[in-house]
Structure 1
Amino acid sequence: MRIDIITLLPELLRSPFEASILKRAIDNGVVEIHLHDLRKYGLGNYRQVDDYQFGGGAGMVIMIEPIDNCISDLKKERHYDDVIYLTPDGQTLNQAMANELSLKENLILLCGHYKGVDQRVRDHLVTKEISIGDYVLSGGELGAAVLCDTVIRLLPGVLNDETSALTDSFQDNLLAPPVYTRPAKYKGLEVPEILLSGNTPKIEAWREQKAHERTVEKRPDLLGE
């Protein structure tokens, strides 16, 4: 997979890809991450990328021309499955969406700033709009990093145990069940006996039951009941 990120602040995005699982995925050739500074496509001597909004109002708007030129250059090199705009009013990111995007080959992520981008970008250049939650950030970079993490960890060869992702919260619309590790007893607190039994079918049944109970308690909306 290749992910190209268009941003005004590439330095803000470098660190998430320099450590942990994401760095390993890049080092192992599972994913390529390319950061593109939108100001390189800015207009005039001052590399202008934003302007006042028509009709008046507070806040600047990122112009269509620099974005169009950047996306056009990228598309000259390869086909992209989606051009994704990170915006608070986009479709809320969930596990099903991450699963779907993990099957793609090439993605462009566009990070917004200020009052956003010229609407013509959204109408004609973007194919999908994604939000990471009902709140506003100072820019789309952190949202892009979150989106990349949710998608990349699902790619084959990224996690040491690829079945681990299948038992994450929100897979099958259930929260993950409780997990325990050594010691089995600590200050009078004990691990459920079933987990120490070695009986795999009963353990799996217990985990499924607990996942359902936890979902009913914390996120009943996931069950649609």
Structure 2
Amino acid sequence: MNGVRPSILFIYGLSITILAFIYRDVTTLSLIAIPNFIVGFILGWRRFKILLILFILGFIGLFINAYLVSNTGEIVYIYGPIVIREGVLEALYTIGLRLAAITGGTMIFLSLVDPYETVKYLESDLYIPRGISFSIYYALRLLPLIQREAREIQGIRVERGYRRFIATPSDITSFLLPLLSTFMERAYWTGVAAELRGFQLRRRGRVPFKLSIYDYIVVSILIIQILTPYLLAIFNP
């Protein structure tokens, strides 16, 4: 397979997610989140619009949560009965950076891997159990279907006189509930079909382990991001 090994990209995406939760400093989070989100957006915004929709929904949820929980400090903005204080912006920025890092790392992984090849490499390189690797494979294959169904739900909303795009919490509910219902039903029947075709009897795939120059580049970028707090401490004491 040409390019970066799926197992390396999987480690990269998983590591970015872990770093997003570990790092507390806003500067460090910014250096991790912003580049990954930009690269992920460039690579995957056409194919994985559903992730961007979920990112926007998550950001709206973060704002509501921050307004209810962290609305303390100096007043920043007033609109009628709504008073936004410094604590809301601080919480929104910090948690928003974590969400951006996770979304960016995920989109980088999804944009550069082939679902079928990913299963073989995860089993061969990382010894991930067959059931987990199949779940990852299924999630990768399911994303295009989810995007198509999301567009269909938007069309149905317009026909019924609702907004096409989500703007309120009630819109979120009316959009996500049918999407999740369809997803769960499809996942159940896919699992049944896999068992009937002898999924548990399938042999573990084996792929020769040989890193390319692209693998070394990705690993080097990941190491730099892991060492970011220490590099900041050295160059900005």
Q: TM-score, normalised by structure 2?
A: 0.22
Q: TM-score, normalised by structure 1?
A: 0.23
Q: Which has the higher helix share?
A: 2
Q: Which has the higher strand share?
A: 1
